[in-house]
């Protein structure tokens, strides 16, 4: 009984009750440590490759910068309204999937059969749950399907007809394949890559986003039409968890763009996360080391990386990479070329 306790214990009880109540109100991280509110941050990319200021018209440069800024604003608005990192990633990528400047959604490159096949992935850094798809032809926004797979199915990845069937089952918006094909792509003027796809003038218009929300949770997403003139059901790194897309609150969130075969072989996204978590490396050093490793394998490309402290890295081994960021200070920065 309470009245049988020594008097000095009675004196401690109010303090214990207050301490217990405080502990119940403090958020807990995946590592079991207290975590206070974070300053939201968002980092996006629209692809890397042979992107030169000398070869790009002022009009086209302006269009790309505006498109990146628009996507950044859409994702940041979610974060500023208290939305989750997952919602911000989806909002930014959905915007770029609707913009014909990028190789994702409407405006994606053509396969060898003159159709469009789309890949996407999304990952929740808090739970490390993920959703991915490859080879879809009628899903208007693949990133939405990726999230639906993550949240509404037991599985991580669906492919081609199976992914299409799941999208229909879940009531996602479907369109004819012609919706994705622009006149520029059909004529060949807007193709992202030469043939073979490893040619030095290749451009990678894949889009991606990584976000940190006010609760300290990370998320990453990537969406793409793959490489131009691809054959035989080719799958790149974008929908492969750990290759082109990865997020964990224990380390960082990553989205990649480049020659997917090399990013798969280098398990690039997870390699960065592992270097951050176990390698005692800074975020920028870990990201650069992985891009250097991809180069050693014979590939090129870039990554965007974000950790829970709001640190960012955007290394790339190409002439340029379409990229934009907004951090704790609220300032939005858009960059394209390597010397910016």
**Residue 65: CATH number of its domain:** 3.60.20.30
Could you say which of 95, 134, 206, 257 is catalytic? 206
Q: What is the pLDDT of residue 187?
A: 77
Number of domains into which the chain is organized = 1
Beta partners for residue 122, in sequence order: 131, 221
Query: Is residue 259 a part of any domain in this protein?
Result: yes
The candidate with the shortest Cα–Cα distance to 259, out of 181, 210, 192, is: 192
pLDDT for the residue 20: 44
Residue 175 Cα to chain centre, angstroms: 24
pLDDT (tens digit, 9 = 90+) per residue, 281-291? 999 999 999 99
Q: In terms of residue numbers, what domain contains 139?
A: 41-337
Residue 38: the pLDDT is 83
The CB density around residue 333, as the number of other CB atoms within 10 Å, is 15
Where b means 16+ CB within 10 Å and e means fewer, 143-176 reads bbbbbbbbeeeeebbbbeeebbebbeeeebeeee
* 166 occurs within a structural domain: yes
Q: Which of 42, 93, 77 is nearest to 326 (CA)?
A: 42
206 is catalytic: yes
Residue 12 falls inside a structural domain: no
Specify the pLDDT at position 188. 66
> What is the DSSP-derived secondary structure letter of residue 142?
H
pLDDT of residue 279: 86
On whether residue 159 sits in a domain, the answer given is yes
Residues (pLDDT < 70) of the chain are 1-36, 188-204
Q: Give the E-state strand segments of the chain in sequence order.
A: 41-49, 118-124, 130-136, 157-159, 203-204, 207-212, 218-224, 245-247, 253-258, 301-306, 312-313, 320-326, 332-337
Angle among Cα 208, 308, 224 to the nearest 5 degrees reads: 10
């Amino acid at each position: 009984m309470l009245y049988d306790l020594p008097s000095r214990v009675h004196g401690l009880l109010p303090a214990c009750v207050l301490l217990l109540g405080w502990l119940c109100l403090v958020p807990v991280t995946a590592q079991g440590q207290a975590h206070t509110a974070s300053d939201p941050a968002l980092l996006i990319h629209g692809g890397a490759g042979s992107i030169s200021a000398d070869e790009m018209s002022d009009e086209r440069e302006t269009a790309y910068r505006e498109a990146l800024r628009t996507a950044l604003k859409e994702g940041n608005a979610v974060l500023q309204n208290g939305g989750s990192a997952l919602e911000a990633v989806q909002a930014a990528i959905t915007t770029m999937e609707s913009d014909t400047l990028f190789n994702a959604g409407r405006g994606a490159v053509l396969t060898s059969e003159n159709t469009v096949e789309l890949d996407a992935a999304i990952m929740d850094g808090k739970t490390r749950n993920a959703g991915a798809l490859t080879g879809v032809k009628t899903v208007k926004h693949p990133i939405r399907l990726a999230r639906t797979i993550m949240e509404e199915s037991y599985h991580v990845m669906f492919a081609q007809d199976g992914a299409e069937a799941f999208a229909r089952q879940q009531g996602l918006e479907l369109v004819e394949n012609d919706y994705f094909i622009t006149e520029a792509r059909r004529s060949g003027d807007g193709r992202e890559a030469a043939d073979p796809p490893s040619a030095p003038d290749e451009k990678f218009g894949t889009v991606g986003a990584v976000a940190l929300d006010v609760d300290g949770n990370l998320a990453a997403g990537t969406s793409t039409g793959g490489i131009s003139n691809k054959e035989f059901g080719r799958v790149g790194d974008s929908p492969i968890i750990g290759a082109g897309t990865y997020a964990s609150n224990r380390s960082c969130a990553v989205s990649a763009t480049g020659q997917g075969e090399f990013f798969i072989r280098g398990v690039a996204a997870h390699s960065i996360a592992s270097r951050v978590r176990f390698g005692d490396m800074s975020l920028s050093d870990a990201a650069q080391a992985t891009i250097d490793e991809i180069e050693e394998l014979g590939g090129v490309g870039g990554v965007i990386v974000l950790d829970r402290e709001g640190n960012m890295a955007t290394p790339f081994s190409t002439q340029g990479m379409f990229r934009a960021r907004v951090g704790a200070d609220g300032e939005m920065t858009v960059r394209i070329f390597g010397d910016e």
